[in-house]
């Protein structure tokens, strides 16, 4: 297999333009990601997914953010409305882990029915009291062990439903007190505290795909993790994550410089692929040019991720919904 482009890209609207098709055919991104602007109706989503895959000539992963709560691109009637993860976990109490397995198994069923086969979850950032509200109720708890256990349940639910998980935000976004979509968060905690934050990522280091955090860990490096060789070394060696690492969205305001500079710095630091989400064609051209094709090692990780995909196991969705409801009705 010739090497993929070292990118994951969005598209502009509900259908692909001829210009986008030609661009994707040439760029050969590893995968695509969908947002609300790409979503209108079930048949339209399925057609768009098929067209994206046709453009690159292979069964490309198609990603979406379907955590539930605020970060949920698919809404009724295309998918169920989900509580914020932390709220569901608190309501389910001792059944929290099982409830999150069921939730992600149902989400996988919903995604697969629309042609989408990768969900940007689990989010195993450990929350603290000061965690910024943009992230806090997306977390699975304040205790690394609980977060790890629920992260594994979410992973299993997705995989059992034929959907690849994306572990995020490596190596831990929980201490962020600003929104990295708008500015660069700096974490001042010492290394001992950071090791606690890294723990769930270490527990889940066997996942096929992971996403970086646009955060500065001051005790380790003044550069944001996404473009930090030191942080990438910690992710690979100390956390032991050997899956394919994508950047968080390269167009977020946390990073300095233009798309060319950001993309080149991410690849140089050790990210395997650059994720660019907003569908702006001019920006995507710059990202593709700066990111180039995958390294041999990145290509191996990409192929391993593709091989990790499995057919959905048979399931009774109605029974799962009833079980979930019983845990949340208290």
The CATH number of whichever domain residue 134 belongs to comes to 3.20.20.300
Give domain status of residue 156, yes or no: yes
Give domain status of residue 305, yes or no: yes
Report the relative pairing of strands 66-68 and 71-72 from DSSP bridges: antiparallel
Given a contact cutoff of 8 angstroms between Cβ atoms, the answer to whether 33 and 10 are in contact is yes
Residues 6+ apart with CB under 8 A from 119: 63, 64, 65, 66, 104, 107, 108, 111, 158, 163, 164, 165, 166
Residue 290: per-residue pLDDT: 98
Give domain status of residue 284, yes or no: no
Residue 1: per-residue pLDDT: 66
Give domain status of residue 302, yes or no: yes
Residue 330: per-residue pLDDT: 64
Per the structure, the complete domain to which residue 310 belongs is given by 5-29+41-54+68-279+293-328
Cα–Cα distance between 232 and 156 in angstroms, integer?
26
Cα–Cα distance between 12 and 48 in angstroms, integer?
11
Give domain status of residue 285, yes or no: no
Query: Which residue numbers are catalytic?
Result: 181, 248
Domain count, the chain: 1
Helical (H) or strand (E) element with 29? strand 29-34
Give domain status of residue 234, yes or no: yes
The ranges of the chain with pLDDT < 70 are 1, 180, 330
Cα–Cα distance between 176 and 71 in angstroms, integer?
17
Give domain status of residue 105, yes or no: yes
Given a contact cutoff of 8 angstroms between Cβ atoms, the answer to whether 175 and 122 are in contact is no
Sign of CA dihedral 180, 207, 277, 136: negative
Give domain status of residue 34, yes or no: no
In a 3-state reduction of DSSP, which class is residue 125?
Answer: coil
Residue 64: per-residue pLDDT: 98
| pTM, to two decimals | 0.96
């Amino acid at each position: 297999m010739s090497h993929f482009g070292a990118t994951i890209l969005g598209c502009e609207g509900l259908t692909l333009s001829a210009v986008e098709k030609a661009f994707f055919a040439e760029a050969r991104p590893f995968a695509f990601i969908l947002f609300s602007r790409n979503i209108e109706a079930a048949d339209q989503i399925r057609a768009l997914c098929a067209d994206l895959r046709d453009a690159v000539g292979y069964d490309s992963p198609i990603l979406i953010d379907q955590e539930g709560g605020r970060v949920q691109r698919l809404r009724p009637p295309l998918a169920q409305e989900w509580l914020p993860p932390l709220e569901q976990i608190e309501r389910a109490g001792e059944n929290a882990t099982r409830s999150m397995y069921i939730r992600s198994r149902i989400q996988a069923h919903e995604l697969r029915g629309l042609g989408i086969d990768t969900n940007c979850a689990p989010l195993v950032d450990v929350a603290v009291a000061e965690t910024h509200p943009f992230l806090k109720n997306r977390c699975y708890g304040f205790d690394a062990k609980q977060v790890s256990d629920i992260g594994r349940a979410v992973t299993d639910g997705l995989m059992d439903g034929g959907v690849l998980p994306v572990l995020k935000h490596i190596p831990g976004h929980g201490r962020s007190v600003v929104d990295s979509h708008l500015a660069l968060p700096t974490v001042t905690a010492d290394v001992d505290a950071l090791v606690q934050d890294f723990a769930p990522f270490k527990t889940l280091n066997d996942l096929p795909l992971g996403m970086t955090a646009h955060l500065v860990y001051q005790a380790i490096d003044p550069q944001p993790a996404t473009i930090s060789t030191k942080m990438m070394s910690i992710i690979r060696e100390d956390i032991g994550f050997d899956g394919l690492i994508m950047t968080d969205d390269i167009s977020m305001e946390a990073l300095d410089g233009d798309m060319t500079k950001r993309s080149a710095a991410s690849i140089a630091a050790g990210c395997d692929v650059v994720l660019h989400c907003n569908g702006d064609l001019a920006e995507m051209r710059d990202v593709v040019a700066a990111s180039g094709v995958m390294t041999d090692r990145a290509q191996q990780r990409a192929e391993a991720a593709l091989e990790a995909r499995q057919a959905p196991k048979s399931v009774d969705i109605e029974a799962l919904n009833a079980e979930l409801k019983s845990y949340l009705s208290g």
